[in-house]
Amino acid sequence: MRAYLFPGQGSQYPGMGKDILALGEKAALRLQQAVSILGFPMDELLCHGSEEDLRQTKVTQPAIFLHSVILAEVMGDRFEPGMVAGHSLGEFSALTAAGALDFEDGLRLVSLRASAMQKACEEQVSTMAAVLGLDDDKVVALCLEVSQTGQVVVAANFNCPGQVVISGVPAAVELAGIKASQAGALKVVPLAVGGAFHSPLMQSAASALQAALDATDILAPRCPIYQNVAPTEGRLDPALIRDGLSQQLTGPVLWTQSIRAMLQGGATEFTELGPGKVLQGLLRKIDRQAVFVQA
């Protein structure tokens, strides 16, 4: 059974729009449609924007969504997923590709999500860091220890064994990083992000997204989706999917758990749809025997 994976923020690259346009007329029409929906020249930014341009959250998230969904669309009948999953933002791409969200609704939700997250970042200075080479449970325990001082820091992304991203206010993230190094972490890497994604500091963004989700039609996808906040089994129920999408802004991305659940659920091969190869790399670290197939 083929499982399709859709990447999240950080997988963008300059010139990615040219790769989209190379896919044909349907892709070009989708980009023009996106310009109309978003209200800014996304096509120009995707084709000629700098790395800094593409790092803006309001640009990054729609850009990755467009790249991923268009790739799925141009596959036509070859896109036959047995199950799907998306890393953070990638859940919206996965659900749109799998027919649970209309293209326009998906793009509007992603754009609103990006703006709401950017606003939350401006309201509270915050950051993230990757802790490498330490057991997941130890990272969680260290975050809880630091949080008892009244400063917010949580384990936000469980990307693969030995790679956990922590998220919170700068002082708490720094202290948790120091404690992680003292506990034996191989490295603690500050991330160039605008704020504390997947933490309680995103509550205002989650509330804004929830209101938009409540006003959006979500259908049962054509195959199960393994969601970030509840990865133990694939979901088809639109109500559960809606809840998962709103909860993920303040909850952790349980990616390691998602991949393992997909393997247990019958996935025999994986394909990544979207810019970059981030998820391909994580897949191999989660399960060396997992089979990856190019789109």
- Give domain limits for the chain: 2-122+200-286, 127-190
What whole-number distance in Å separates Cα of residue 33 and Cα of residue 27? 10
Q: What confidence tier does 158 reach under pLDDT thresholds 50, 70, 90?
A: very high
Residue 48 annotated among the catalytic residues of the structure: no
DSSP 76: G
pLDDT > 70 fraction of the chain, expressed in percent and rounded: 100
**Does CATH number 3.40.1440.60 belong to domain 2-122+200-286?**
no
What whole-number distance in Å separates Cα of residue 228 and Cα of residue 220? 17
Which position has the higher pLDDT, 23 or 181? 181
Amino acid in position 74: V
On the 0-12 / 13-18 / 19+ scale of CB atoms within 10 A, 289 is exposed
The owner of tokens 């729609």 is: 62
* Chain centre distance of CA 159: 11
For residue 52, what pLDDT is reported?
86
CATH superfamily of this structure's domain 127-190: Malonyl-CoA ACP transacylase, ACP-binding (3.30.70.250)
Residue 87 annotated among the catalytic residues of the structure: no
Out of 198, 199, 246, 258, the active site residue is 198
What whole-number distance in Å separates Cα of residue 146 and Cα of residue 230? 26
Closest by Cα among 241, 250, 286 to 267: 286
Average predicted confidence (pLDDT) for the chain: 95
Contacts of residue 175, Cβ cutoff 8 Å, sequence gap at least 6: 146, 151, 153
Residue 237 has pLDDT above 90, yes or no: yes
Average pLDDT value for residue range 193-207: 93
Out of 11, 88, 167, 199, the active site residue is 88
What are the tens digits of pLDDT across the range 99-110? Answer: 999 999 999 999
Q: What confidence tier does 10 reach under pLDDT thresholds 50, 70, 90?
A: confident
What are the tens digits of pLDDT across the range 59-88? Answer: 899 999 999 999 999 999 999 999 999 999
Contacts of residue 142, Cβ cutoff 8 Å, sequence gap at least 6: 176, 179, 180, 183
pLDDT > 90 fraction of the chain, expressed in percent and rounded: 86
pTM of the model: 0.95
Closest by Cα among 15, 31, 73 to 273: 73
For residue 192, what pLDDT is reported?
81
203: which 2 tokens?
Answer: 């509550």
Which position has the higher pLDDT, 226 or 11? 226
Residue 56 has pLDDT above 90, yes or no: no
For the chain, helix (H) and strand (E) counts, in that order, are 13, 9
11: which 2 tokens?
Answer: 């997988």
On the 0-12 / 13-18 / 19+ scale of CB atoms within 10 A, 210 is middle
Q: For the chain, what is the radius of gyration of the CA atoms?
A: 18
